[in-house]
Structures are given as structure tokens and as C-alpha cells.
Amino acid sequence: MKTRQLNKYKLLFIIIVYLISINSLAYGQENIVVTLGNDLNQQQREEMLNLFGVTEGNIKVLVVTNEEERNYLKGIATEAQIGTRSISSAYVENLSRGEGINVETYNITWVTAEMFQNALATAGVTDARIIAAAPFNVSGTAALTGILKAFEEMRGETINEDRKRIANEEIVKTGELGEEIGQERAVQLIKEVKEEIIEKGVKNPEEIKRIVIEIAGRLDINLNTQQIEDISKLMEQISRLNLNTDVIRQQLQGIGQQLGEIAKQNEEVKSLLDRIIEMFRRLLESIFNMIGR
């Protein structure tokens, strides 16, 4: 009798373990998607999968070609930025509602994690953990194509082509601006201009340009005429996407805190410089008074 009961418990235990394993497999298949650059060799593919902490048999793995990347970057990025091979790879994991967009990068040298976050919010990506990576240093310009492809597969939905194109343009324009004024300041400027334009529903080109100039001034960023024109044209396109400011702010809550710290540091530096200038002014004034006497 005891043996029968023991066998029943064993059978129940086996069934529970089996159900847990099936559920775990289902989670992996439905909640994580990986994209690999088509031009990676086998060793590099395995390196990327190891970095992402996944096994190819347990999750969906897609391939991204250079042709796919060119589809969104041609006419926006330079040939050097696009390249001729597809190397960048991506890991995309579904998160609970309200967790926002979280991005990590490995061997991505030109596009920062914050640039990806900003552009992904424009594309309509929500609540996802993302890793953009390569087996060696690459600019990362083309990585957005793989991230969006993985997100579509994971959620079972198609992202509007205009959103994809504009998000790619946002990555490139922010990167180019970052070369001139610094990456963090470029991200902060694009983020704040975008949020204000969406929140106020501004679509008039002249009004958009005014907002760009106003926010740049508020952030103590000096823009030349071409930079103002480029940002304004990008924002004109973004204004037509009917984005929601609250959703974007929620998705970008992580970089909002980081950029807030940067702004605070900039203010502290500016305040220190003001104090130093004032000290020198008083010193010179004192010297001139002594000479006058």
C-alpha cells in the first residue's frame, strides 16, 4: 500500500516537473527573440548567443541581412556607417507593462544605449529589455533594424514602416549631433524637444524650429543653422506619428533620471565657473582701484 502511494507521489512529481519545463520553454519561445547578423561566422554566432545567455534551440533566432539594414538607412546614413556586412545582433525580452525600455550595448561604439532608447520609443517599442551587441567594435547604426525585427516577432505585431524609417533617422541625426556637442547632450536635446512637440501637438515648421532653439538655449547648447534645420526636419516627421507623451516618458524613465543627473552636473559646473569669473572680476577691480590711487 505504501509502495503504491510512493509511486503516486513520484508520478505526480514527474508531471509537475514536466509542466514546469514546458512552461519555461514556452516562456523562452514567446518572450525572448534574438536576431543575429547574417555575416557572422559560426564562432561569432555562438559568442553572441553566449553573451545573451540563450540556447538556440530554446528561443526564436532570426537573421538580419545588410540588405534589410540598407532598406532603412539608405539616404540617411553614410556608406561607411551602413557598411557592407550585417554584424550587429540583438536580444529582445518582453517585460511587464510599465517597466519601460532598458538597453545595454556591447562593442557598439557610435550609438549609445540612450540613443537606442530614444529612437525605440519613437518607433513604438514598449516594455522591453534589449541588448545590442557585436563580436567586435562596430558603429551600431544598423543595429536598430535587428532590434525592431525581434520586437515584432516577440509581440506578434508589425511596426509601421514610417516609424521604423524615422526611428533610424533619429539614431543617425542624434549620433551626428553627438559628434559636435557630446552624446549625452545630444540625447537630452532630442528627447526634450520631442516630448514638448508631441505634448503640445505642434506641427507647424516655424513653431517647431522655435522650440528647438528655445530648448537648446535652456540647456546651454549652441547650435548652428544647419543643426537647427536638421533637428527641425526630424521633429516635423516625428510630429506626424501621433505619439503619446505620457507613454514616451514612461518608456524613457531610465534615461530621464540619467539625463537629469547630467543636467544637474552641468549646472553645478556652470555655477562654479560663474563664481570663478566673479572672483577674478573682483580681483581685477581691486587691482585697478589700487593703481588709480
pLDDT tens digits along 256-279: 554 444 444 444 444 555 556 655
Contact 35, 130 (CB under 8 A): no
In a domain, 147, yes or no: yes
| Number of compact structural domains in the chain | 1
In a domain, 2, yes or no: no
Classify strands 89-94 and 60-64 as parallel, antiparallel or unpaired: unpaired
In a domain, 292, yes or no: no
In a domain, 23, yes or no: no
Residue pLDDT tens, the chain, 293 long: 545 554 555 555 555 444 444 444 444 446 999 999 999 999 999 999 999 999 988 899 999 999 999 999 988 998 888 889 999 999 999 999 999 999 999 999 999 999 999 999 999 999 999 999 999 999 999 999 999 999 999 999 999 999 999 999 999 999 999 999 999 999 999 999 999 999 999 999 999 999 999 999 999 999 999 999 999 999 999 999 989 989 898 888 866 554 444 444 444 444 555 556 655 566 666 666 666 65
In a domain, 6, yes or no: no
Structural domain boundaries, residue 236: 31-262
Strand arrangement of the beta sheet that strand 60-64 belongs to: 60-64, 32-37, 89-94, 128-138, 101-108
In a domain, 268, yes or no: no
In a domain, 278, yes or no: no
In a domain, 118, yes or no: yes
pLDDT tens digits along 65-77: 999 999 999 889 9
